[in-house]
Structure 1
Amino acid sequence: MSDLPRLTAAEAAARLGVKPESLYAYVSRGLLSRERDAAGSSFDPLEVEAFARRRRRSPGAVPGSPTPGSPLMVLDTRLAHIDDDELHYRERSAAQLARDASFEDVVTWVWDVSTLRAPSPADVAVARGTIAALGPAARPLDRLLVAVSALAATDPLRDDPDPSQLLRAGARLVTGLPAALAVADERASVAQTLWRALASRDLPGGSRLIDAALVLVIDHDLAASTLAARVAASARASGYAVVTAALGAFDAPLHGTASGAAAHLLRAIRDGDDPATAIARTVRAGRSGVPGFGQPLYAGGDMRARVLFELLRDAPESAGVLAAVDAVADEVARRADMRPNLDLALAALTLWAEMPDDAASVIFAIGRIVGWISHAVDEYDERPMRLRPRGRYVGPAPE
């Protein structure tokens, strides 16, 4: 296998978000290696990626450098926690729930409700018509966002100040959004409806894999979108506005849409591209590194990815996709201490089901609505507007 195509100095500096002078300072201090030839300096893309992730994990490792991901605040949370590299929802293993329970069963348990009341067929028809007005070029998340607005507009009780409106709005969204994306039997589950909306093939167990994915993405500490949901709830936004605020932070390449880039990478490798070449091309194309790798909350790798890959290995006709997963994971592991994360697993699921590359963001968002609403309920128990930080002026001094 050929060595990874290398990054130029400009590309390496752009990936790290620093000036070329800082890049060469890292080289002089032994933090990065480079090769020099007649064309100039070049850098190993995975060494650069590993260095970028070390800077995020270790504030102060490079004095004076920014440290993305450093917490601005610590908030109490009552839903997800990670112990010994295992994700739990309250006292129950998320992995076990994903393997054994349906999404609906987990949602009713998390929200402590007896049933999930769906919007009326007329309200779903309004949401479906709003989606249709976007045309075929709209992204899946665009369709989801306008459907949230449509379901809000058809709910006369959306501004009810009682906290119970959050759970009622949440139930309308997790059941109504899939129904707005695809016409399905009224008795179909959320996962079955999403399979009909997103997948291009009929495979046994397909909706069961979506069910497991929905459960695994419900909550995961205070991600950027979850914080946005809590800020909106702090201002006593409605359930629909909480989800809209969260989707604004979610629709980003470093968060909810990272699986699209990972799917593009896997697709290229599955279709015959050399893994090293595909990785280098992906790193050059953006500043988010190798999509589908790294998760600082786990020392031994993202357990959500592990569960989805285990389920996918038992699925029919998955060998080609999993071979691409293994090829890219081996190449990354050979160069950097990074393991697959949830985004790579969701990308593998989309390829197996022959979904569009960015379809996994819809599965992710609908599952995460459960967590956003849960956090909003908790925030309603706190003092209103408590999540209002104060700014510190650092602009030019007055003359």
Structure 2
Amino acid sequence: MADQGAGGRRLTTREAAERLGVKPETVYAYVSRGMLNRGRTPGGRGSTFDEAEVDALVRRSRRGRPADGEGAGAPAVGAASAVRTGITLIEEDRYYYRGVDACALADNHAYEDVAEWLWTGRMRADVRFTAPREALAAARGAVDALPDYSGLIDRLRAAAVAAAATDPLRFDLSPRTVVAGARGLIATLVEALPVLGAEPEADGTAPAAVARRLWSRLTPLAAGEQWTRCLAAALVLLIDHDLAASTLAVRVAASARANPYAAVSAGLGAFDGPLHGGASGLAHRMLTEVLERGSAVAVVSDHLRTGRRVPGLGHRLYPGEDPRARTLFALLEQVPSAAPALEAARSVVETTARHVPLHANADLALAVLSVSAGMPAEAGETVFAVARTAGWIAHTLEEYGERPLRMRPSGLYDGPRPPQPLPSPVPT
């Protein structure tokens, strides 16, 4: 029977296993991995577990299961799902940066301000990120050397590696140095991309905001106040989102004490794929097709008939609408030229909801922005990557404060048992 200790209700091993839906041996495996803490019964013959901690682990395990319409391959409860972080909390269809509603931050603060606050704990007004001259020259040289058909994420990866090579202080992992380097890295990533529109003018001696500089790299369309506000909000909304695949890759690199540039490069590598960063590009192409054909029904039908998932719908962490999509849609409603793409997106949601109760996610909202502003299909992915770089730096700083090399799960070998004979050469 569970007891009531000073720290709250305690569960026996059997009760904890039943609540988690695992065997008692697995409960002790969670203890060995640092996912659960155990206490002793008064007699010292059994273990007890904090009810709140067990319930938190149950919630994390449920988040790992794919929601209806989402792809397979979601992780079950494991060591990676138990990483403690004080950056982002997701619960009840809302999410918070360090306890503050992220959507409210997007409505009231610039991307640079929020990034600085996440890194240092101090909210400063009118922060500007400046690209170091040597880093920017090296990054532009690396980007220019790529083939013309290279994607924007390819260019960001090349820029990150080139910028790292110019920074002799990159191996100094102290918070002050990491933060200073992060400001320059984000500015360098943006300014290394080819310019499509008019370069924004600097305000006095300070460079223009990241959102305005990024806008000119994504579309030749003039950056009006409403458009810039939408992009600036998107950058804040996408800074972090718990332990996504790319963020976990960043923390693994930081756990091995890789420098911040290398950690960001690890994130960019994991980010490159249709199930993570590339999802907004799929939604962009779908919305473009809906507008061309004039019917969401036909496009959704084609996706389902060919066994493809309808992009931009559903999120495993939100039973309802993704709050990032909700906030960005509200801003896009204030831009008259975004109306056709917004209507197309809503039509996709309504068509799909006839049979499957899925809601719009951030990828669909990004697609509305990119389609409406005449951006390429990979623009949403680029916005995502630039925004998330600030979050990756926050996680890097947090991981530097942990025990080194703690992100080392044990493999469960399921190959043939030794001894096995030496393999024989196969004739070619």
Write the mapping of 1:20-59 to structure 2, written as runs, cut at 5 A: 56-57=66-67
Deviations 1:58-103 (A, max 9, x none): 9xxxxxxx76242423111111112332111112111111112111
Residue matched to 1:128: 140
1:63-142 correspondence runs (5 A)? 68-73=74-79, 74-112=82-120, 118-142=130-154
Aligned residues of 1:203 and 1:316 also touching (Cα < 8 A): no
| 2:163 paired with 1:151 | yes
Check the 8 A contact 2:65/2:76 in 1, yes or no.
Answer: no
Residues of 2 paired with 1:148 and 1:242: CA distance? Answer: 10
Task: Give the alignment's Cα RMSD to 1 decimal.
Answer: 2.2
SS of residue paired to 1:82: strand
Number of equivalenced pairs: 339
User: Which of 404, 409, 424 matches 1:389?
Assistant: 409
Residue 277 of structure 1, CA deviation: 2.7
Question: What letter matches 2:86 in structure 1?
Answer: R
Q: What is the CA distance between 1:197 and its match in structure 2?
A: 0.6
The aligned runs of 1:122-271 (5 Å cut-off) are 122-181=134-193, 182=195, 184-186=200-202, 187-202=207-222, 204=224, 205-271=226-292
2:374 paired residue number:
354
Q: Tell me how far apart the structure 2 counterparts of residues 264 and 93 of structure 1 sit (CA, whole Å).
A: 31
Assess if the C-alpha contact under 8 Å between 2:280 and 2:312 holds in 1: yes
> Residue type matched to 2:159 in 1?
A
Question: Following the alignment from structure 2 to structure 1, what is the Cα–Cα distance between the partners of residues 304 and 251?
Answer: 33
Q: Which has the larger radius of gyration?
A: 2
Please state whether the residue corresponding to 2:90 is helix, strand or coil. strand
Shift of 1:184: 4.6
In structure 1, give the amino acid aligned to 2:112.
Answer: E
Q: Name the amino acid aligned to 1:250.
A: F
Change over 3 Å in CA distance of 1:251–1:203 after alignment to 2 = same
Partner SS, residue 89 of structure 2: strand
Residues 323, 110 of structure 1: alpha-carbon distance in 2 compared, 3 angstrom cutoff: same
- SS for the counterpart of 1:81 is strand
SS in 1 for 2:257: coil
Q: 1:396 to 1:298 in 2, by over 3 A?
A: same
Retained in 1: the 8 A contact 2:130–2:183? yes
- One-letter amino acid matched to 1:131: V
Equivalent AA in structure 2 for residue 290 of structure 1? V
Distance between the aligned counterparts of 1:159 and 1:324, measured in 2? 48
Q: Which structure would you say has the larger RCO, counting Cα contacts within 8 Å and 6 or more residues apart?
A: 1
User: Using the alignment, how far apart are the partners of 2:306 and 2:232 within structure 1?
Assistant: 32
Amino acid at match of 2:201: D
Give the Cα separation in 1 of the matches to 2:64 and 2:105: 32
Whether 1:377 and 2:397 are equivalent positions in the alignment is: yes
TM-superposed CA distance for 1:188, in Å, is 1.1
Q: Which segments of 5 or more consecutive residues in structure 1 lack a partner in the other structure?
A: 1-52, 59-65
Q: In the alignment, what sits opposite 2:357? A: 337
Could you tell me the TM-score, scaled by structure 2's length?
A: 0.75
Give the secondary-structure state (helix, strand or coil) at the position aligned to 1:335.
coil
Change (3 A) 1:203 1:164: closer
**What are the superposed Cα offsets for residues 182-236 of structure 1, whole Å, 9 maximum, x if unpaired?**
4553421100001111023225221211100000001111101111010000000
For the 8 Å contact 1:265–1:282, the answer to whether it is kept is: no
Identity of aligned residues (%): 42
| Counterpart contact for 2:325–2:364, Cα < 8 Å | yes
The gaps in structure 2 that reach 5 residues or longer are 1-62, 421-428
Compute the displacement of 1:116 (Å): 5.4
Corresponding residue for 1:364? 384
Alignment TM-score, normalising by the size of structure 1? 0.80
Structure 2: distance between partners of 1:68 and 1:102: 33
2:284–2:368 contact (8 Å) kept in structure 1: yes
SS of the residue aligned with 2:274? coil
Shift of residue 330, structure 1, vs aligned partner: 0.7
C-alpha distance after superposition, 1:143-186 (max 9, x if no partner): 11101111111111112243443322321221221111245534
SS of corresponding position for 1:300: coil
Could you tell me how far apart the structure 2 residues matched to 1:279 and 1:169 are?
45
- Alignment pair present for 1:298 and 2:318: yes
Distance 2:65 2:162 in 1: 42
